[in-house]
Structure 1
Amino acid sequence: MKGYVQVYTGDGKGKTTAAFGLAIRAAGSGLKVWIGQIMKKGEYSEIHSMQRFADLITVEQFGTGKFVMGKPSGEDIEAAATALSRAEHIMSSGKADVLILDEANVALACGLFPVGRLLALIRQKPEGMELVLTGRGAAPEIIEAADLVTEMKCIKHYHEKGVMARTGIEK
């Protein structure tokens, strides 16, 4: 099976959710999935659900637990570099059929790594591996390199009425 590069971007809700849904679909077909969450650290509901598929889905977090605002810290940059290095290792080892880098686009936009590093990862993707990059603000170079790009667009959101993120739905 030929693998492709998918990008889920845009300001609307659902990028990570779509990627995790793809992970479940892939596991349902017996494919091995590795998910690297860049800039995330903590107990999110999606982490708990993926533990039910631990024989086929691995999730690793590469974040400091702090929101990146302004100039990223050395610790933030190091965590993102570790995520990319780990993804490169997973790619070269053949330990996954589907590789998801959650929030890779945001990490790039925040300056945690240069666009060339992410493009190099795309170029080294094995022929049979599916690569998924999520996060708002995908760089034009990443969009150009991808085979499939989906932009999530918010039309209406109850957050605008003061509804906070709910466990199991948004977090």
Structure 2
Amino acid sequence: MARIMFYNIVRFLALITIQVVLFKNIGFYNLATFFPYILIIMLLPLGISNFFVYVLAFATGLAIDAFYDSLGIHAAACVALAWFRIVFIRITLEIDVRQSSDSPSWGELGSKWYLSYIFLGTLIHHFTLLVIEVFSFTNFLTTSLSILLSSLSTFAIILLISLLFYKRKSRVGI
């Protein structure tokens, strides 16, 4: 369990640093932005308590808000992502898998489940983030395009990160 905590702390520090140092300054005409820091929330162990998921999501959002000078919109989007994570895992996984201490991964849960989990989570996060940021229906098409392009670009970055750290499913006795 200490090893899992250590990996999650390192992941938290690495993704926050990469987000602030690299991806804060990258964007395409204010339509597409990259937010791979959401992997912090999405890759938490499956068996972690819901309360702890919400607390970590809020803390992650506040950390990003501190660097982006935004007034809690990342915290709100991360809490929405935590809610999605809890509901999605509860609906799609069996009880024994939900109670394991494994992180959701491509190798353990399969590509279909992992890709839908990452894409829908990214979409929920970006929808919440950008709707709260704009908080108006005057530029509905621009906001919708920004949600779509930001979600797709973040999804692509997350897939690249996932492929870099891909681990095959462990098979006992082989």
TM-score (norm: length of structure 1): 0.31
More strand by share: 1
